[in-house]
């Protein structure tokens, strides 16, 4: 969920360091998406719209470096995390199924589109792979969203010659991942149109509008089969945010349990029939979905050969973290394991939740960059690692892995726009990565998964 201009910033850094220039062209992407459709007006910094009158102030102690505009939010988030962590039993001297602890490989995200074909791009991906491996990650998760490997789309988009190059890029990525003793997890939902995929060269919104519901399902299924046949991932996720996909694709039927279940069932059938045997396939929901249990049951009923249920964990608002526990228990009762292929602490107030759509609000995501959040990010990750061990989760893969390398000082960027903050965060993460440096959050994740890894 990086601005294309970051590529030139990173290119200059590599050139100065006498590093292969192509590496930073690839390291340009430390978030899958750019600024968003519902972002605040230009010139409105996140801090300026951070204060919400009437917000409840909790009794949690807030560190002195947290700006006044964010103290209520910090306190609320800390209470939510503490409440969730308190429900996780001690796991000392307890046996547990091994959890695959990984991280998102943002440099290979399909929202980059044709940028993935730039010379030396693979070298940049390999740098990020090496850094994730150094943290102890056993796998990487990569978004290979529809329709990047769907030949009819590339023909419609005027890029038919790019098809094989894109397939070869991801086949080489799979080889690079496995040569490091790691596993490849591919998420294949729908690519975000508009500012999210700036620089991709793809006309996504226009293309989605040309497809009927049946054509959309057929296209998603065909591309998933291509991924299974050509890339052979160790895990394949074919959809985990039905509400989000319904919005970005303008396919309202996906926003219903039965409609989403139909999509998943068609994809699973196609993948199994065309070279996907032996590849575990999963699908699921975000924990913010209050009716998520209905989606899970519908999907498993429609696609009984589904291997696991994937849960995305971002907001802690309302009962989202209780839903994580409940949805995991429901999944187990259906004879499936749970995976968490995307997770990060969303910095959003209860009063903002449901009003601000974080998926389309650059201001919400820009908040993540501020260094005063680092202690909370560490606590959240630690709780998720413990939860994963407790519930014997198949996979845990944090999403915003750029913050494993660097944050920004709030006072230095508080007057910038969300897009500018994101660009600064990308550049800071790239510079730290080249120096093989990790943030406190990155080191904390390393320690947590090291302590929880079953020999």
pLDDT tens profile 331-346: 999 999 999 999 999 9
Whole-angstrom Cα Rg for the chain: 21
pTM of the predicted structure, to 2 decimals: 0.89
Asked if the model's pLDDT at residue 135 lies above 80, the reply is: yes
Q: Which tens digits make up the pLDDT trace of 2-52?
A: 333 333 334 344 444 444 444 443 454 443 333 333 333 333 344 434 444
Q: Is residue 93 scored above 70 in pLDDT? A: no
Summarize pLDDT for 241-272 with one digit per residue, the tens.
999 999 999 999 999 999 999 999 999 999 99
C-beta of residue 373 within 8 angstroms of C-beta of residue 63: no
* pLDDT tier, 92 (very low <50, low <70, confident <90, very high otherwise): low
Assign domain 6-51+68-452 one CATH number from 3.40.50.2300, 3.20.20.80, 2.60.40.10, 3.40.1550.10: 3.20.20.80
Task: Say if residues 214 and 256 touch (Cβ distance below 8 Å).
Answer: no
**Beta carbons of 113 and 202 less than 8 angstroms apart:** yes
> Which single residue is written with the structure tokens 């620089």?
199
Contacts of residue 16, Cβ cutoff 8 Å, sequence gap at least 6: none
HEC string of 44-64? Answer: CCHHHHCCCCCCCCCCCCCCC
199 has pLDDT over 60: yes
Which CB contacts under 8 angstroms, 24+ apart, belong to 63-69? 63/372, 63/375, 65/372, 66/372, 67/372, 67/410, 67/414
pLDDT for the residue 163: 98
Percent of the chain at pLDDT > 70 equals: 85
Q: Is the dihedral of CA 20, 25, 29, 32 positive or negative?
A: negative
User: Span 161-167, mean pLDDT?
Assistant: 98
């Amino acid at each position: 969920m990086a601005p294309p201009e970051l590529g030139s910033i990173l290119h200059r850094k590599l050139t100065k360091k006498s590093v292969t220039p192509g590496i930073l062209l690839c390291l340009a992407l430390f978030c899958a998406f750019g600024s968003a459709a519902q972002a605040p007006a230009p010139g409105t910094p996140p801090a300026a719209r951070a204060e919400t009158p009437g917000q409840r102030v909790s009794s949690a102690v807030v560190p002195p470096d947290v700006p006044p505009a964010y103290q209520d939010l910090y306190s609320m988030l800390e209470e939510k995390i503490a409440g969730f962590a308190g429900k996780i039993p001690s796991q000392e001297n307890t046996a547990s199924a091994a959890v695959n602890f990984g991280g998102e490989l943002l440099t290979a995200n399909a929202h980059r589109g044709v940028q993935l074909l730039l010379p030396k791009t693979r070298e940049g991906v390999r740098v990020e792979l090496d850094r994730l491996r150094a943290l102890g990650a056993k796998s990487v998760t990569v978004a290979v969203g529809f329709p990047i490997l769907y030949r009819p789309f590339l023909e419609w988009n005027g890029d038919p010659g790019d098809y094989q190059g894109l397939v070869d890029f991801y086949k080489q990525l799979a080889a690079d991942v496995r040569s490091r003793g790691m596993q490849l997890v591919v998420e294949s939902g729908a690519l975000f149109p508009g500012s999210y995929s700036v620089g991709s060269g793809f006309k996504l919104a226009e293309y989605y509008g040309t497809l009927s519901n049946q054509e959309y399902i057929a296209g998603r299924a065909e591309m998933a089969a291509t991924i299974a046949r050509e890339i052979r991932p160790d895990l394949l996720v074919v959809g985990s945010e039905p509400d989000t996909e319904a919005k970005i694709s303008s396919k309202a039927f996906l926003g219903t349990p039965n409609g989403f279940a139909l999509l998943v069932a068609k994809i699973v059938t196609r993948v199994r029939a065309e070279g996907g045997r032996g590849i575990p396939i999963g699908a699921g929901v975000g924990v913010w979905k209050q009716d998520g249990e209905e989606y899970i049951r519908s999907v498993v009923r429609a696609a009984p050969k589904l291997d696991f249920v994937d849960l995305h964990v971002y907001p802690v608002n309302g009962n989202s973290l209780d839903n994580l526990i409940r949805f995991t228990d429901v999944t187990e009762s259906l004879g499936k394991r749970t995976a968490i292929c995307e997770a990060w602490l969303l910095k959003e107030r209860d009063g903002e939740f449901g009003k601000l759509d974080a998926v389309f609000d650059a201001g919400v995501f820009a908040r993540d960059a501020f260094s005063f959040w680092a202690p909370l990010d560490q606590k959240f990750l630690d709780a998720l690692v413990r939860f994963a061990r407790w519930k014997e989760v198949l996979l845990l893969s944090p999403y915003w892995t750029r913050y494993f390398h660097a944050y920004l000082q709030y006072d230095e960027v508080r007057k910038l726009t969300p897009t500018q903050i994101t660009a600064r965060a990308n550049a800071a993460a790239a510079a730290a990565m080249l120096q093989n440096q990790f943030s406190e959050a990155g080191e904390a994740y390393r320690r947590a998964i090291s302590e929880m890894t079953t020999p």
